[in-house]
């Protein structure tokens, strides 16, 4: 007869047999007692599964999964056996009551995001937060849709106003020739400026309310998406300031001209605001973050190849009377466009030697780009699958703790 | 001694041992009784395999497959173990008599199409149906071949008639200068119109007969392929109507001109009629349907990149005297052609900054296109394998129900 | 006590236990007796491994491999378990004496070529055969090297003679203005013709000797590589005939001009003769043969897309005053060059609609080309691995039959 | 009762049972005694794990790993089971004390570099070696950073001096019109020459100190990276010699001109010096070395296709009045640029036949390039993973020898 309890100091070395649907696992008591909160580590709870005739603990559970759970007791590391599906293993982890820490570690390793959102506790912050940050109620979905529409409208306007047809209208809002009052008058009668004002109004309201509702203000301020939300509003107020200050930015003054251009460009970045509303953009972002080392490596490899190949082609093509390579830095362009197989055809080698070399250039370009690609695509697949259901949400109901 | 029958309420908890060629599975009677229609769930049928000396049920069957079958009793989910080939697992499913529902679920998960065709019951519909819809008899194959020939002839004509050499002949059939009778006379002496009439005649007959033979008229009408069959016939009758109505469509009237162009374009879509006769086109279609989320995502990512990169390059290239980017929407074209590495060379950046940026543009384009590709190619491989033999058609003959 | 022999009719149903290094396989005598030539099927030979105390047959062999061997007795199909390396499984197949048929079936399934060469029995054919067909002796390697040199020389000449610098020399050998004697005189003083004559002489000798040595003449004649060997010799003799017949082929006569061109082109195909001497070219050929269905499908898909997209772009670009698409067949070229992302830039869409459509065109082209690629690359990997050592050549020496 | 010791000659055939956490392995004493240095092969050491009641050796260890360790005793080959992670298997190898030879063999097979660096024994060589060759102390990291900066400065100068803006300055340092003194004076007042002198000084010092500290001089001299280090220094001293010897290299003398060009090109190769300091470049190098057979094959395939396609297109396009293919060698360029889908657009086919053929050319190019790519990318992934932690550095602390 086996006794259960920590009283007996010598029993830690006793052999324990666990029979999982016919697959038998032998270990010592000591190993199981490493995790006393789990079903197997708790001598009292596991007693229920003891079969005295066979002197073993019998579990009518998934056998291959238990290999991974058993390994946790032996090594302290949780890993799903490669031939067991995620949801099956998740169910077994829950059955054997491995604890939230183990499950979170496991989920993180499988690529799941286990961080939880913090909901504000007080009203009316809670209502506002649910309206803007969650996508669960119909009203919050509507708010999201309105924001998406304003984003698209804003970006669309930024692109459209550069069309030759609208050039006059666009220049108008930046030509500050009269006094402040006239300028403002012209600006607010300009259709583009009106649309812009409407968009900015909505973006400001949304950002302000979300900041108001945010339970952790410092975390809110540090969040890259919120910084973006703020940055893309700024250009409007700078424009307004330029109008007020009566600064002429249409002329040949280089510095204000560059500033205006930057202001107009920043408005296009509003398209990234979509990522708050589109899961697929979040996946892309997560993939790029996870693949950052590979991407940096790719850019680094390409930089080396570009410098090398540009130098070689420069010296090779030097003798051709109409060569396209006046200097090595200008040959960089050829190297980039050839390595990536774009091949605009604006510059290309013309000497036999240069042509032969271009072949090496293209093939090595394809190789160097192809090398890190599988790592990046695997990352994407991982994040893509992760967007499926959390395996711990749909657990089968035969959890033993409920019976 | 173990008794078999549901009479004894206490025996559901009794341990049962199943020995599959030496691999032992322990469970409780209750688990097996969940599926009483199966071989293991039926206490009477399984009795035959009982070995009293060993107190176990002995099956001289494939061991790794049984891991997957056993899991079905434990969790209600059927999944082929990854190291077991499809046909072996199918044979084991049949041996253990898991039932059509389980087998269909399993096949659907493996990518097979388990929906059955409905054959009309009455004659002559049945004969007509077999002639046009199945590809099994020689006669039906011949009918299929004739249709394919007419499709190719029809598409070939549509392409050929645009050649400068045949331009006069083509224009003739759309120039309605005289009265109806003259128009019709001209039209029916035109070689292209004669070929078109022959094709349309066959397509009409085929569609009408298939509709006549169809056992489920509403399903027939809703089927996308049948709608296509109908749509590609329409242009001919509209042309005929235009001739009758004596509408001049060769002139500068924009609306009728567009209509004629659409009519002529629709005729080329007849090429999709081939998909009824070519398995590989059906595979392509199934792959694209299954990969729709990835493809939408790909287009969405590209749209964002195109807008962003077009804006950036527009502001970067603005200062170059002969730049190719008059507006952001026109820069979209450059962004598309660069992201996809086509690089026609009609427009390209010329400032050093623009060139450096183009590098980022190309690399990110390759990455974004490459990301969803493995998912799409895996879908294709799945559908491609599916076109092999159904694993339940070639089962080994040692099925226990036959012995 | 278990008796061994086929005398007892009732014993076929007796249970047999096989212990492979601790992994136990239970089956019935009947199953093992299906293959009496094998170690396990032969009751006398297997007796040696019987352990009476345990009532089992004990084999101190690789456990996971036996899963695959055991399955052969149960289902008659041989398949290597996915987690067992090829050479290990091969060693186990040999140990359990599964017979050449099983091993050949298995090797064929793994992608190995198990067909054996037939060596001629008599001399001197045998010596000649070993010299030209095997690559094992130093002399045969030297002969191979000479052939490769002649191939390269011949192909190199074919390419070089088209250079403007050598144009006169090339034309000379085809200008038959004088009488036969003069023509021959001119020809045989022409350096290119001299080289050609030397190459042809070697190729003729080699082909004649190989035919002479070939043990199966009909198989030799039907072999595609031998047909190629013959075809690439023919142009020389046709040239010689033209010189003899005094046919002028330099003038504007279209038919003889085309013939001369074909003759000159055929000479370049001699490069395929290399495949007899380069394993990597044989691999490429085997991959292309094995991937033929996918390649046909790829070409078929592209053909459909090209027809469709060419038609659409034709109607879309029609209104642009300087459009590049005079007819649908001429738009095919654009569609091909865009689908494959080559983008020469000689023709491209210019209307906004056409540009937007080109984007779809490129993306679908990438998708359609990418889809069958993994199947083709997997075929290549299979054939590439196959070129490693035959797993049955380096078997471990602990084969039980030798002890 | 089982006795342990080599005294009894008959006991080598005795059966031994090893129970690894419930998974049982049966073998004969003889098999284990093959490797007497290992834990299982040493009858005295393994005695500790003997459980007399069960007549077996019990190990509370990872079960799936032991399959691979057990196989080593049977076949003498070490291989990690595919479903066991690397670090787990490494821990088990250490536990069962398989010895350094087995572990090194295993690591080499997994792609790890097990060669050890030889540290010089005496001072001050040891200090210098640690400073330049290891990257562990802060000071050695600083030295590495300085070297990287000098490399970048040197390569940057080489590229910049080709800019039209700096052309005069560049030519100056190569124009040797006056006497030696004047030349040297001009040179050392030239900014580019000053920078170059500084870089060379550092490179010389570094190379000299590393040579001084190197414990194995011959190995140092043969190392490809050290040869590179030396070669990229040479151009400076040749330049200096040219100045001293008063050789004019700016004129039309072809040979000195080519030498100067080579000298300037060699300086750009200094970028490869970075690979001593960047792990990712070492990975790229290792991948290319490991993929050399595939790359040679790829180049070989492309060469064959290029020759073949260039010949075909040459004869196809011959009749077009403005064709771009004056000779087959000039058509090589088109074939390369088309096979790789670069498509500069400088030359392209214009006849319908040539265009149709170009399609085949592109598709076969994509196929041929794609075929060896997965092998290359897998090599890269292997070397990329290898750069993670060595699995034997972070072993779990429950090693039995320490207890
Ligand atoms: K291009
Ligand atoms: K391209």
Q: Are C19 and D16 in contact (CB under 8 A)?
A: no
- Percentage of chain C with pLDDT > 90? 23
Cα dihedral sign, C144-C147-C152-C155: negative
The structure's pTM equals 0.83
Inspect the interface and report whether the beta carbons of B344 and D341 lie closer than 8 Å. Answer: no
Cα-to-centroid distance, D344 and ligand 2 (Å): 7
Cα-to-centroid distance, C349 and ligand 1 (Å): 14
The 8-class DSSP code of residue D323 comes to -
Q: What is the pLDDT of residue B240?
A: 84
Query: A12-22: per-residue pLDDT in tens?
Result: 788 899 999 98
Chain A residue closest in CA terms to B372: A377
Inspect the interface and report whether the beta carbons of B345 and D345 lie closer than 8 Å. Answer: yes
* pLDDT category of residue B391 using cuts at 50, 70 and 90: low
**Which is more confidently placed, A202 or A241?**
A202
Q: What is the pLDDT of residue B191?
A: 85
- Average model confidence (pLDDT) for chain B? 82
Paired sense of beta strands D56-59 and D15-20, if any: parallel
Which of residues 87 through 146 in chain B touch C, CB cutoff 8 A? 88, 91
CA C199 to CA C158: how far, in whole Å?
Answer: 12
Q: Are B75 and A88 in contact (CB under 8 A)?
A: yes
Q: Is D344 on the interface with B (CB under 8 A)?
A: yes
Cα-to-centroid distance, C338 and ligand 2 (Å): 9
Q: Which residues are within 5 Å of ligand 2 (an ion), measured at CB? A: A 343; B 343; C 343; D 343
Is a pLDDT exceeding 70 seen at residue A8?
A: no
Is a pLDDT exceeding 70 seen at residue C398?
A: no
Q: Which of A167, A340, A368 to mutate to test the interface with B (most CBs of B within 10 A)?
A: A340
List chains adjacent to chain B, taking adjacency as at least 3 C-beta pairs closer than 8 Å. Answer: A, C, D
Q: What is the pLDDT of residue A103?
A: 84
Q: What is the pLDDT of residue C395?
A: 42
Alpha helix (H) residue ranges in D24-62: 29-32, 43-46
Is a pLDDT exceeding 60 seen at residue D142?
A: yes
Nearest by Cα to D249 from D174, D180, D171, D185: D174
Shortest alpha-carbon distance between residue B182 and chain A (Å):
47
Q: What is the mean pLDDT of residues C78-102?
A: 85
Sequential DSSP letters for A237-300: HHHHHHHHHT---SSS-HHHHHHHHHHHHHHHGGGGGGGGT-HHHHHHHHHHHHTHHHHHHHHH
Which of residues 182 through 221 in chain B touch C, CB cutoff 8 A? none
Chain D residue closest in CA terms to A317: D261
Inspect the interface and report whether the beta carbons of C345 and A345 lie closer than 8 Å. Answer: yes
Q: What is the pLDDT of residue C243?
A: 77
**Which is more confidently placed, A250 or A349?**
A349
Is a pLDDT exceeding 80 seen at residue B109?
A: no
Q: Are C329 and B159 in contact (CB under 8 A)?
A: yes
Count of Cβ atoms closer than 10 Å to residue A23 Cβ: 23
Is a pLDDT exceeding 70 seen at residue D66?
A: yes
Inspect the interface and report whether the beta carbons of B341 and D341 lie closer than 8 Å. Answer: yes
CA dihedral A307, A311, A312, A315 (to 10 degrees): 170
Sequential DSSP letters for A300-366: HHHHHHHHHHHHHHHHHHTTSTT-S-SSHHHHHHHHHHHHTT---SSS---SHHHHHHHHHHHHHHH
Cα dihedral sign, D349-D353-D355-D356: negative
Half-sphere exposure of C269 (CA within 13 A, CB side): 16
Nearest by Cα to D50 from D74, D32, D73, D67: D32
Cα-to-centroid distance, C362 and ligand 1 (Å): 13
Instruction: Give me the phi and psi of D15, to 5 degrees please.
Output: -75, 140
Inspect the interface and report whether the beta carbons of A79 and D64 lie closer than 8 Å. Answer: no
- Percentage of chain B with pLDDT > 70? 86
Inspect the interface and report whether the beta carbons of B333 and C342 lie closer than 8 Å. Answer: no
CA B83 to CA C90: how far, in whole Å?
Answer: 19
Instruction: Give me the phi and psi of B335, to 5 degrees please.
Output: -60, -45
Q: C124 preceded by cis ω (within 30°)?
A: yes
- Average model confidence (pLDDT) for chain A? 82
CA D157 to CA D194: how far, in whole Å?
Answer: 11
Coarse DSSP helix, strand, coil percentages of chain B, rounded to the nearest 5 percent: 65, 5, 30
- Give the nearest partner residue to A314 out of D19, D162, D332, using CB atoms: D162
Is a pLDDT exceeding 50 seen at residue C4?
A: no
Query: Number of residue pairs across B and D with CB atoms under 8 Å?
Result: 5
Inspect the interface and report whether the beta carbons of B343 and D341 lie closer than 8 Å. Answer: no
Q: What is the mean pLDDT of residues B383-399?
A: 52
Half-sphere exposure of C389 (CA within 13 A, CB side): 8
Inspect the interface and report whether the beta carbons of D396 and A75 lie closer than 8 Å. Answer: yes
Adjacent-strand bridge partners of C56: C51
Is a pLDDT exceeding 90 seen at residue A202?
A: yes
Is a pLDDT exceeding 60 seen at residue B397?
A: no
Is a pLDDT exceeding 70 seen at residue B388?
A: no
- Average model confidence (pLDDT) for chain D? 82
CA dihedral D236, D239, D240, D245 (to 10 degrees): 160
Worst-scoring range by mean pLDDT, A21-35, B25-39, C86-100, D5-19? D5-19
Q: What is the pLDDT of residue C207?
A: 92
Q: Which residues of chain A lie closer than 8 angstroms to B367, CB-CB?
A: 295, 373, 376
On the 0-12 / 13-18 / 19+ scale of CB atoms within 10 A, C238 is middle
**Token pair for residue A209?**
């309310």
Shortest alpha-carbon distance between residue A300 and chain B (Å):
12
Q: Which residues are within 5 Å of ligand 1 (an ion), measured at CB? A: A 343; B 343; C 343; D 343
Cα dihedral sign, D291-D293-D296-D299: negative
* pLDDT category of residue C203 using cuts at 50, 70 and 90: very high
Query: B327-355: per-residue pLDDT in tens?
Result: 898 899 999 999 999 999 899 999 999 99
Query: A261-290: per-residue pLDDT in tens?
Result: 888 888 889 998 888 888 888 888 888 888
Is a pLDDT exceeding 90 seen at residue C128?
A: no
* pLDDT category of residue D54 using cuts at 50, 70 and 90: confident
Is a pLDDT exceeding 60 seen at residue C396?
A: no
Q: Is D403 on the interface with C (CB under 8 A)?
A: no
Q: Which residues of chain D lie closer than 8 angstroms to A373, CB-CB?
A: 377
Q: What is the pLDDT of residue B395?
A: 42
CA D279 to CA D277: how far, in whole Å?
Answer: 7
Q: What is the mean pLDDT of residues C389-399?
A: 44
b/e burial code for range D296-310 (CB count within 10 A of at least 16 → b) = ebbeebbebbbbbbb
**Token pair for residue B88?**
């072996």
Shortest alpha-carbon distance between residue B268 and chain A (Å):
31
Q: What is the pLDDT of residue D113?
A: 65
Shortest alpha-carbon distance between residue D280 and chain A (Å):
7
Inspect the interface and report whether the beta carbons of C83 and D79 lie closer than 8 Å. Answer: no
Shortest alpha-carbon distance between residue B86 and chain C (Å):
12
Q: What is the pLDDT of residue B176?
A: 58
Q: Which residues of chain C lie closer than 8 angstroms to B384, CB-CB?
A: 375
Inspect the interface and report whether the beta carbons of A19 and B28 lie closer than 8 Å. Answer: no
Q: Any idea which residue has 């069960």 for tokens?
A: D54
CA C313 to CA C332: how far, in whole Å?
Answer: 10
First to last CA, chain C: 27
CA C341 to CA C334: how far, in whole Å?
Answer: 10
Is a pLDDT exceeding 90 seen at residue B115?
A: no
Inspect the interface and report whether the beta carbons of D343 and C346 lie closer than 8 Å. Answer: no
Adjacent-strand bridge partners of B272: none
Listed in sequence order, the residues at least 6 apart from A311 whose beta carbon sits closer than 8 Å to its beta carbon are A328, A331, D158, D159, D265, D268
SS (H, E, C) chain C: CCCCCCCCHHHHHCEEEEEECCEEEEEEHHHHCCCCCCCCCCHHHHHHHEECCCCEEEECCCHHHHHHHHHHHHHCCCCCCCCCCHHHHHHHHHHCCCCHHHHHHHHHHCCCCCCCCCCCCCCCHHHHHHHHCCCCCHHHHHHHHHHHHHHHHHHHHHHHCCCHHHHHHHHHCCCCCCCHHHHHHHHHHCHHHHHHHHHHHHHHHHHHHHHHHCCCHHHHHHCHHHHHHHHCCHHHHHHHHHHHHCCCCCCCCHHHHHHHHHHHHHHHHHHHHHHHCCHHHHHHHHHHHHCHHHHHHHHHHHHHHHHHHHHHHHHHHCCCCCCCCCCHHHHHHHHHHHHCCCCCCCCCCCCHHHHHHHHHHHHHHHHHHHCCHHHHHHHHHHHHHHCCCCCCCCCCCCCHHHC
Q: What is the pLDDT of residue B250?
A: 57
Cα-to-centroid distance, C388 and ligand 2 (Å): 37
Q: What is the mean pLDDT of residues D42-66?
A: 89
Q: What is the pLDDT of residue C14?
A: 86
Query: C323-371: per-residue pLDDT in tens?
Result: 889 888 889 999 999 999 999 999 999 999 999 999 889 999 999 999 8
**Which is more confidently placed, A370 or B112?**
A370
Distances, alpha carbon D394 to alpha carbons A72, D80, D165, D384, in Å:
17, 18, 56, 19
CA C260 to CA B128: how far, in whole Å?
Answer: 56
List chains adjacent to chain A, taking adjacency as at least 3 C-beta pairs closer than 8 Å. Answer: B, C, D
CA C81 to CA C68: how far, in whole Å?
Answer: 6
Cα-to-centroid distance, A327 and ligand 2 (Å): 24
Q: Is B299 on the interface with A (CB under 8 A)?
A: no
Q: What is the pLDDT of residue C131?
A: 84
Cα-to-centroid distance, B341 and ligand 2 (Å): 5
Q: What is the pLDDT of residue D240?
A: 84
- Give the nearest partner residue to A355 out of D19, D333, D377, using CB atoms: D333
Chain B residue closest in CA terms to C299: B280
Query: D268-278: per-residue pLDDT in tens?
Result: 899 988 888 88
Is a pLDDT exceeding 80 seen at residue D132?
A: yes
Paired sense of beta strands D15-20 and D23-28, if any: antiparallel
Query: D221-261: per-residue pLDDT in tens?
Result: 988 889 999 999 998 888 888 777 766 655 555 566 677 78
Chain D residue closest in CA terms to C338: D341
Nearest by Cα to B335 from A268, A82, C272: A268
Q: Is B369 on the interface with C (CB under 8 A)?
A: yes
Q: Is C341 on the interface with A (CB under 8 A)?
A: yes
Shortest alpha-carbon distance between residue C196 and chain A (Å):
26
* pLDDT category of residue D331 using cuts at 50, 70 and 90: very high
Listed in sequence order, the residues at least 6 apart from B251 whose beta carbon sits closer than 8 Å to its beta carbon are B257
Is a pLDDT exceeding 80 seen at residue A386?
A: no
Count of Cβ atoms closer than 10 Å to residue A58 Cβ: 19
| Best mean pLDDT range from B123-127, B239-243, D23-27 | D23-27
Q: D200 preceded by cis ω (within 30°)?
A: no
Q: Which ligand is nearest to the CA of C344?
A: 1
Q: Which helix (H) or strand (E) holds D383?
A: helix D373-386
Query: C158-171: per-residue pLDDT in tens?
Result: 888 888 888 776 66
Q: Is C340 on the interface with A (CB under 8 A)?
A: no
**Which is more confidently placed, A11 or C271?**
C271
Is a pLDDT exceeding 60 seen at residue D27?
A: yes
Q: What is the pLDDT of residue C383?
A: 80
Q: Are B375 and B294 in contact (CB under 8 A)?
A: yes
Q: Which residues of chain A lie closer than 8 angstroms to B311, CB-CB?
A: 158-159, 265, 268
Query: B283-308: per-residue pLDDT in tens?
Result: 888 888 888 988 998 999 999 999 99
- Average model confidence (pLDDT) for chain C? 82
**Token pair for residue B256?**
């009728």
Q: Is D36 on the interface with A (CB under 8 A)?
A: no
Q: Which residues of chain D lie closer than 8 angstroms to A18, CB-CB?
A: 22
CA angle C78, C80, C84 (to 5 degrees): 160
* pLDDT category of residue D332 using cuts at 50, 70 and 90: very high
List chains adjacent to chain C, taking adjacency as at least 3 C-beta pairs closer than 8 Å. Answer: A, B, D
Distances, alpha carbon C301 to alpha carbons B279, B282, C294, C339, D4, in Å:
12, 11, 10, 11, 72
Is a pLDDT exceeding 80 seen at residue B175?
A: no
Grouping H, G, I as helix, E, B as strand and the rest as coil, residue D126 is: helix
Q: Which ligand is nearest to the CA of C341?
A: 2
Inspect the interface and report whether the beta carbons of C28 and B164 lie closer than 8 Å. Answer: no
Q: Are A170 and A118 in contact (CB under 8 A)?
A: no
Nearest by Cα to B223 from B180, B273, B269: B273
């Amino acid at each position: 007869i086996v006794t259960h309890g920590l009283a007996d100091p010598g029993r830690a070395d006793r052999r324990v047999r666990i029979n999982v649907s016919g697959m038998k696992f032998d270990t010592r008591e000591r190993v199981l007692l490493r995790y006393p909160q789990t079903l197997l580590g708790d001598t009292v709870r596991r007693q229920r599964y003891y079969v005295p005739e066979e002197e073993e603990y019998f579990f009518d559970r998934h056998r291959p999964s238990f290999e991974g759970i058993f390994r946790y007791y032996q090594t302290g590391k949780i890993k799903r056996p490669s031939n067991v599906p995620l949801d099956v293993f998740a169910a077994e982890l829950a059955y054997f009551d491995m604890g939230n820490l183990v499950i979170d570690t496991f989920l993180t390793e499988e690529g799941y995001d286990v961080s939880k959102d913090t909901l504000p506790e007080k009203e009316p912050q809670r209502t506002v937060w649910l309206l803007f940050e969650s996508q669960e109620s119909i009203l919050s979905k509507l708010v999201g849709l309105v924001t998406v529409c304003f984003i698209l409208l804003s970006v669309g306007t930024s692109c459209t106003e550069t069309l030759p047809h609208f050039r006059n209208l666009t220049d108008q809002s930046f030509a500050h020739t009269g006094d402040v009052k006239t300028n403002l008058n012209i600006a607010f009668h300009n259709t583009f400026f009106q649309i812009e004002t409407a968009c900015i109004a909505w973006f400001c309201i949304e950002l302000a309310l979300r900041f108001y509702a945010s339970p952790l203000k410092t975390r809110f301020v540090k969040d890259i998406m919120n910084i973006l939300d703020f940055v893309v509003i700024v250009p409007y107020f700078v424009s307004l300031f330029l109008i007020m200050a009566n600064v002429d930015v249409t002329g040949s003054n280089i510095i204000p001209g560059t500033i205006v251009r930057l202001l107009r460009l920043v408005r296009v970045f509003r398209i990234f605001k979509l990522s708050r509303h589109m899961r697929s953009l979040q996946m892309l972002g997560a993939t790029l973050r996870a693949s950052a080392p590979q991407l940096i490596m790719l850019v680094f490899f390409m930089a080396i190849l570009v410098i090398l190949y540009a130098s070689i082609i420069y010296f090779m093509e030097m003798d051709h009377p109409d060569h396209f390579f006046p200097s090595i830095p200008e040959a960089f362009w050829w190297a980039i466009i050839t390595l990536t197989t774009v091949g605009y055809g604006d510059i290309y080698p013309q000497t036999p030697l240069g042509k032969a070399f271009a072949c090496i250039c293209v093939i090595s370009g394809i190789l160097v780009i192809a090398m890190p690609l599988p790592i990046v695509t695997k990352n994407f697949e991982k994040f893509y699958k992760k967007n499926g259901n959390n395996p711990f949400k749909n657990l089968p109901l035969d959890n033993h703790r409920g019976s």
